[in-house]
Structure 1
Amino acid sequence: MSLQAVRYRRGSLQILNQRLLPEHSVYEEIPDVQAAWRAIREMQVRGAPAIAIVGCLSLAVELHQREEGASREDLASFALESLGHLVTSRPTAVNMARAAQELSDFVTREVKRPDSTAESFKEKIEAMLDKDIQDNKSIGNHGAKHIISRAKTEKVIILTHCNTGSLATAGYGTALGVIRSLWSMGCLEHVYCTETRPYNQGARLTAYELVHDKIPATLIADSMVSMAMKEKGISAVVVGADRIVANGDTANKIGTYQLAIAALHHRIPFYVAAPSSSCDLTLESGGQIVVEERPGKELTDFNGARIAAPGINVWNPAFDITPHSLITAGIITEFGVHEPGELRKALTDNAHRDTSHTC
């Protein structure tokens, strides 16, 4: 059973504080929207899908607290204001912004109905949990089958970056979901995960998940990826994404771009795995993505101790942009595996299909 990073029941939300992993597994109560904003900003919860899930569930919790004695207009106004605030927590990942827009549209429509209540708002949000897990399992199965169909060996060796598993989603994971599916199919030989400097999401979180699931894995430094590709028989590189734009350019954790370049040199298939909620067709290319810059202390300090020379300048972008031309094997979504140039059409076709089944 994969880890549970989010615990939710009507009126209560807890998150596994990822800043304390792997030394301590502590679930923190998230009583309201502002607490969720802080948890996201401080990276107690991270990963584009998980950010959206936790942000929206915190709204459901606070709506549950406020609904007694409040008018639906007041609740709707609070919901719209809260969703706008949550989007400011971390700008690069698009999932929170998309979820906020979808929920804002729903609330705006619903409040005009004479029989609408806070119940419909909460149910809409709560449905996100199950959908995210089902989408992740679809991503895992599509990706695993595609990798197997192109593999030259019976079992594959995968290299991954950052954390894209249960800790970054509602459960199962995206790129790590592909790895989990390969493992369950009996087609995975080994995983190499990067430490993912400077925040060490790979060393602290991905390694934690792989050990928890008893998947054979080895941790490597980010600077070892080219050597690993040369020496370790890597079958494919699979990474996640915080935002994928219309031409297929992808924002992901810093270090992804250099993995893609190295994979191209070594002729290793490079995949991006992400739900359609991470796709932003309003932006044409990666140059339009706002890249978050994190505090310099993430580079200069470790566990509160200074490790860098005092007075040194720091540049600490949290993400980089991988051009679509380097995504050689495809982008994996819940709808299948797509060439970057085909992604827009695939998403548009599936959006039309969903609309046609809506009453």
Structure 2
Amino acid sequence: MTASSHDTVRALEWADEALYLLDQRRLPEAEAYRCCRDAPAVAAAIAEMVVRGAPAIGIAAAYGAALAARTAWREHGAGWAAAMADDLEALRRSRPTAVNLAWALARMEARAAELPAGEDPTPALLAEAHAVHAEDVAANRRMGRSGAGLIQPGSGVLTHCNTGSLATGGLGTALGVIRTAWADGRLERVFADETRPWLQGARLTAWELAADGIPVALLADGAAPALMRSGAVDWVVVGADRIAANGDVANKIGTYGLALAAREHEVRFMVVAPAATIDPQTPDGEAIPIETRGAEEVLSAGGHRIAPAGEGVGAWNPVFDVTPAGLVDVLVTERGVVHQPDAEGIARLVAEGG
């Protein structure tokens, strides 16, 4: 059995000269796609969490940049480079924490700068977006193999949020490791936190694993430390939205608490992310911008108000938290594995990638 036998889900697809995004807000009740034919539609889809997960956001942004160039060429001809600036800025503002978005846009802008003003930039930039997408698919497979090789047979793993095909271009990051380890016969148990307030674990991770025939047990986020104490978990495997130069990791809110509990219970903690998630310009976790969203996401569940209505009941709703590098046992990227990641290990990994 191979990992590809547990890899049937795709969140992004380019077809009919448009970007199609599986609307993750509607899963698991409905599998519906949003068609994006211009950059503002892509920016809105990112901001509204139609597409989510740092690698998938970066891929979507790359396609959005290609669409921005297409619109600018059609409307402004040789002045396309300046005309697409507003669309690129809208894409850049759509989600502030996921560094893959800024990385993808910088790559697309660099490619655009190489193109002559008097020629249609769309084919070249679309080819670049396809390359971003294909490279992520290949990186997922390398990370899956590297991470799975660290897990001993008979292990139990716990994951948080969604880090699979819905969050990337292919197999997934943390879930790619889990898929590969399952295909290798290394795992006995897979656990997933529900992941409040958007319930990505319950709605998305469980849906992906069920679609690929991998059994999973869901648990409320607050139950994770008790599960670790029971001895059922050998590894916590999570993704990342940004990794600072010193190895601090920004990921879905709740990750920091998992790392603390894992250290207390001698459970190993693995972060799996493409190298593009590393931000050498951000010195440490304190410098990572943390997105906050509206209070209603916490005060409600499934569209129904669960907290008392009226004045006096508010909410604090950070989307991410920061796990210090000292709580991470291993960082897995497509470029290699770093044990006990720190500033030196991160710098070496970045240097190896040129």
TM-score, structure 1 as length reference: 0.91
Task: Note the C-alpha offset of 1:231.
Answer: 1.4
Alignment partner, residue 133 of structure 2: 129
Q: CA deviation at 1:53?
A: 0.9
Task: Say if 2:100 is the partner of 1:99.
Answer: no
Equivalence for 1:81:
86
Verify the 8 A CA contact 1:175 1:272 in the aligned structure 2: yes
In the alignment, is the contact (CA less than 8 A) between 2:72 and 2:84 conserved in 1? no
Distance (whole Å) between structure 2 residues aligned to residue 221 and residue 15 of structure 1? 28
Give yes or no for the alignment of 1:13 onto 2:12: no
Number of the residue aligned with 2:288: 289
1:3 aligns with 2:6: no
Q: Is it true that 1:302 corresponds to 2:306 in the alignment?
A: no
User: 2:196 corresponds to which letter in structure 1?
Assistant: R
Aligned-pair CA distance for 1:292: 0.5
**Which residue in the other structure is 1:110 paired with?**
115
- The answer as to 2:274 corresponding to 1:269 is no
The aligned counterpart of 2:327 is 326
Residue 141 in 1 paired to residue 140 in 2? Answer: no
The residue number in structure 2 matching 1:356 is none
Paired with 1:115 and 1:299, the residues of 2 have a C-alpha distance of 49
Secondary structure of the equivalent of 1:4?
A: coil
- The structure-2 alpha-carbon separation of the partners of 1:285 and 1:129, relative to structure 1 and needing over 3 Å to count, comes to same
- SS at 2:353 equivalent: helix
Kept after mapping to 2: 8 A contact 1:241/1:273: yes
On the 8 A contact 2:139/2:274 being kept in 1, the answer is: yes
Per-residue Cα deviation, 1:328-352 (whole angstroms, up to 9, x for no partner): x211100121031243233333223
Could you tell me whether the CA contact under 8 Å between 1:140 and 1:179 is conserved in 2?
yes
Amino acid at match of 2:42: A
Output one character per residue of 1:128-151: Cα deviation in whole Å (capped at 9) or x when no partner: 11111001111111111122xxx3
| Residue-pair matches, total | 344
* TM-score (structure 2 length as normaliser): 0.92
1:31-50 superposed Cα distances (whole Å, 9 cap, x missing partner) = 21111111111111110111
Q: Secondary structure at the match of 2:289?
A: coil
Q: Does 1:54 align with 2:60?
A: yes
Q: Tell me, what secondary structure is at the counterpart of 1:146?
A: coil
CA–CA separation in structure 2 for the residues paired with 1:346 and 1:186 = 33
* Whole-angstrom distance in 1 between the partners of 2:120 and 2:67: 18
Q: Pick closer, same or farther for the CA change 1:65–1:109 going to 2, 3 Å.
A: closer
CA shift at 1:194, angstroms? 0.2
Segments of 5+ residues of structure 1 without an aligned counterpart are 353-359
Asked whether the 8 Å contact 1:235–1:268 carries over to 2, the reply is yes
Structure 1 residue 303, shift from structure 2 partner: 2.7
Tell me: CA distance 1:84–1:299, structure 2 relative to 1, closer, same or farther (3 Å).
same
- Maintained 8 Å contact 1:11/1:61: no
**1:355 paired residue number:** none
Aligned structure 1 segments of 4 or more residues deviating by more than 6 angstroms: none
Q: How does 1:151-300 map to 2 (within 5 A)?
A: 151=152, 154-300=153-299
> Contact conserved, 1:11 with 1:64, CA < 8 A, in 2?
no
Deviation, 1:91, is: 0.4
CA distance in 2, matches of 1:74, 1:127: 25
How much has 1:230 moved relative to structure 2? 1.3
| Structure 2 stretches lacking a partner, 5+ long | 1-6
Contact 2:72 2:83 in 1 (8 A): no
Contact 1:75 1:118 in 2 (8 A): no
Q: Conserved in 2, the CA contact under 8 Å of 1:84 and 1:100?
A: no
**Percent of aligned pairs with the same amino acid:** 41
The question of whether the paired residues in 2 share the 8 Å contact of 1:11 and 1:65 is answered with no
1:357 — aligned with what? Answer: none
Match of 2:41 in 1: 35
C-alpha separation between the residues in 2 aligned to 1:236 and 1:186? 15
How far did 1:60 drift?
A: 2.3
- Secondary structure (helix, strand or coil) at the match of 2:250 reads strand
Shift of 1:23: 0.5
Displacement of 1:77: 2.3
Pair 80,108 (structure 1): closer, same or farther in 2 beyond 3 Å: farther
Displacement, 1:70?
4.9
Shift of 1:62: 4.7
RMSD: 1.8
In structure 2, how many angstroms separate the alpha carbons of the residues matched to 1:78 and 1:42? 25
Aligned twin of 1:348: 350
Q: 2 CA distance for matches of 1:166 and 1:335?
A: 20
Q: Confirm whether residue 336 of structure 1 aligns to residue 336 of structure 2.
A: yes
